[in-house]
Amino acid sequence: MRDAGPLVRLLADPAGAGEVRDWTSLIALARAESLIGALAWRLDGLDLPPAVEALLAAARSDGEAARTQALWEAEMARRALAPLGVPVVLLKGSAYAAAGLEAGRGRSIGDLDILVPRDSLPDVERALLAAGWEWVKEDAYDDQYYRRWMHELPPLIHRERDRMIDVHHTILPLTARPKPDSAAMIEDRLPLADGLFVLSPPDMIVHAAAHLFADGDLAGGLRNLWDIDRLVREFENRDGDFHPKLRDHAGRHGLLPAVSRAVRLAHHIYKTPVRCQAPKPKPLVLPGTGQEKIGYRIAAADRLFLRRLLARDGWGRQRRPLTRLGFYVRSHWLRMPPPMLARHLWVKVRRR
C-alpha cells in the first residue's frame, strides 16, 4: 500500500472488506492514523477472517475502555470547576463521547480539552492546580508563549491519574488571522445531563475544521476529517436545515474557507453527502483515492491537501516528505505573522 487510499475507501464503503488482500498493512495504516477504532466499528458484523475479527473486536473494547476513562476525566474536571459557576464546554473527542455522537465511536481520546470564558482563566487555573493538576512545561519562555499568544493555557497533567487537560479560551491561537468569536460559541453551547456543556452542532464542525485547516500541519488529519464526516452526516440527518446554519456559523467566526475545505475534502475522501448548491459536477481523476468521478470540482489547492492527508503507507510510515514539509511551514505561517515567527524560531533554535 503506497498511500492511505485503501483505508479511506474501506471506511467510506465497508462492503469492500471482502476484497481486502493485505489486512496487515491496512491495520498498520489504520493504527498509524488513529482510525483503528473507527474501522473496527465500521466493519462490525461483517464476515471477516477470524484473526481480523479478533483484532477489531479488541479495538472495539479498547475504545469502550478509553471512552469510560475520558468521561471519568471530564467528570473530575467538572467536580474541580463546579464551585466556580463558570460554563465548562467539552471539546473534540470528550465532547463527542459525552454527547453520544457517532464521531465518538471508537475514537481515541488523548487529552481532555475544555473551553471556558477567557475572564475565568485565572480562577480555572487555580482550581485545577488545587485539585491535583500540575504544569508540564516548566520553561518560562514556553509558559509566556502559551499565555500571550496561544488559545489555551500551557498543558496541565494530573499528578495521580496522569491525564492531560488543555484549557482553551478560544479555538485558534490569538496570533492566527481568523478571529473566531469564542464568547458567541460559549453563548450557543448545549447542556449535557451532568452540568457540563458541548458546542452547538455547527460550532462543533467549525472547531474541527479550524483545528484541521487553520492550525497545525495536518498530521493525523485523516482522523480529524473522519470526525467531520461523522458530524456532518449525523447533524444533517437530524436537521434538514443544518447546512445553512453551518454556513452561517462558519461565516460568523471567519472560518468559511476552512469549513468549506473540510466539507469538500470529506466529500472526496469519505463520500460525505453535501446538501448544498455545489458547482456543476465535473469528472476528475483524483490522486491517491482511485476515484474516477467525483461529485463536484475540487479546487487546485485541495489536491495538495489530499496528497498530504493520504501520505501514509501500509507500513504506517509517513510518505511525501516535501509535501509534509510544505504543510509544516504553512502551519507556522498560519499561526503567527512572519516577524513573530522568526523570533519564535530563533528562541527555539538557540535552546537546542
Partner 1 sequence: MRHVFRLRVGPVCFRIGSQWRGPIAALRQLYAGYPEPDGVCDFTVRLEAERPWRRWLRPSVAIRGDYMLPDAVPVSLDHGLLAAEMGMNLQMALGQRRFLLLHASAVERDGRALLMTGHSGAGKSTLAALLGERGWRFMGDEFALLGLDDGLLHPFPRAVSLKNESLGLLDAVDPGRLGPLLEGTPKGRIRHLRPNAEAVARMGEPARPVLILFPRFGLDLEPAVREVGAAEAFMRLTQASTNYVALGERGFDALTRLVGALPSKAIDYADAAEAETLVERLWEGE
Residue closer to partner 1 by CB (options 160, 241) is: 160
- The distance of closest approach from Cβ of residue 315 to partner 1 in the complex, given in angstroms and rounded to an integer, is 6
Residue appearing with cell numbers 475540487: 298
341 closest CA partner among 324, 351, 329, 326: 329
Instruction: Select from 1, 23, 102, 174 the one that contacts partner 1 (CB under 8 A).
Output: 23
Distance, in Å, from the CA atom of 314 to the CA atom of 120, rounded to the nearest integer, reads 46
Residue closer to partner 1 by CB (options 132, 316) is: 316
- The distance of closest approach from Cβ of residue 38 to partner 1 in the complex, given in angstroms and rounded to an integer, is 16
Which long-range contacts link 121-124 to residues 24+ away (Cβ below 8 Å)? 121/153, 121/167, 121/169, 123/84, 123/86, 124/81, 124/84, 124/86, 124/167
14 is a contact residue toward partner 1 (CB under 8 A): no
Distance, in Å, from the CA atom of 30 to the CA atom of 34, rounded to the nearest integer, reads 6
183 is a contact residue toward partner 1 (CB under 8 A): no
End-to-end CA distance of the chain: 36
Residue closer to partner 1 by CB (options 63, 295) is: 63
10 is a contact residue toward partner 1 (CB under 8 A): no
Q: Are strands 197-198 and 112-115 parallel, antiparallel or unpaired?
A: unpaired
* Phi and psi at residue 71, to the nearest 5°: -70, -35
- The distance of closest approach from Cβ of residue 51 to partner 1 in the complex, given in angstroms and rounded to an integer, is 5
Choices 46-54, 267-275, 283-291, 342-350; region in contact with partner 1 by CB under 8 A: 46-54
Residue 37: which residues within 8 A CB-CB, separation 6 or more?
A: 59, 60, 62, 63, 66, 105, 106, 107, 108
Residue 165: which residues within 8 A CB-CB, separation 6 or more?
A: 73, 77, 111, 112, 113, 114, 128, 133, 155, 156, 157, 158
Please say whether the beta carbons of 167 and 125 come within 8 A.
Answer: yes
**Strands of 156-158's sheet in order across:** 133-135, 156-158, 164-168, 112-115, 89-90, 197-198, 190-191
24 is a contact residue toward partner 1 (CB under 8 A): yes
Residue closer to partner 1 by CB (options 49, 290) is: 49
- The distance of closest approach from Cβ of residue 43 to partner 1 in the complex, given in angstroms and rounded to an integer, is 13
Site for partner 1 in 287-326 (CB under 8 A): 315-317
- The distance of closest approach from Cβ of residue 110 to partner 1 in the complex, given in angstroms and rounded to an integer, is 13
Choices 27-35, 117-125, 180-188, 218-226; region in contact with partner 1 by CB under 8 A: 27-35
Choices 26-34, 86-94, 221-229, 245-253; region in contact with partner 1 by CB under 8 A: 26-34
- The distance of closest approach from Cβ of residue 317 to partner 1 in the complex, given in angstroms and rounded to an integer, is 7
- The distance of closest approach from Cβ of residue 7 to partner 1 in the complex, given in angstroms and rounded to an integer, is 14
Residue closer to partner 1 by CB (options 54, 184) is: 54
Residue closer to partner 1 by CB (options 28, 246) is: 28
38 closest CA partner among 72, 18, 67: 67
Interface mask toward partner 1 for 47-76; x: CB under 8 A? --x-xx-xx--xx-xx-xxx-xx-------
Cβ of 325: how many Cβ atoms within 10 Å? 11
Residue closer to partner 1 by CB (options 52, 310) is: 52
Distance, in Å, from the CA atom of 249 to the CA atom of 122, rounded to the nearest integer, reads 29
Distance, in Å, from the CA atom of 127 to the CA atom of 113, rounded to the nearest integer, reads 16
Residue closer to partner 1 by CB (options 52, 89) is: 52
Residue closer to partner 1 by CB (options 61, 237) is: 61
Type of residue at 135: W
32 is a contact residue toward partner 1 (CB under 8 A): yes
146 is a contact residue toward partner 1 (CB under 8 A): no
**Residues found near partner 1 in the complex (CB under 8 A):** 23-24, 27-28, 31-32, 49, 51-52, 54-55, 58-59, 61-62, 64-66, 68-69, 315-317
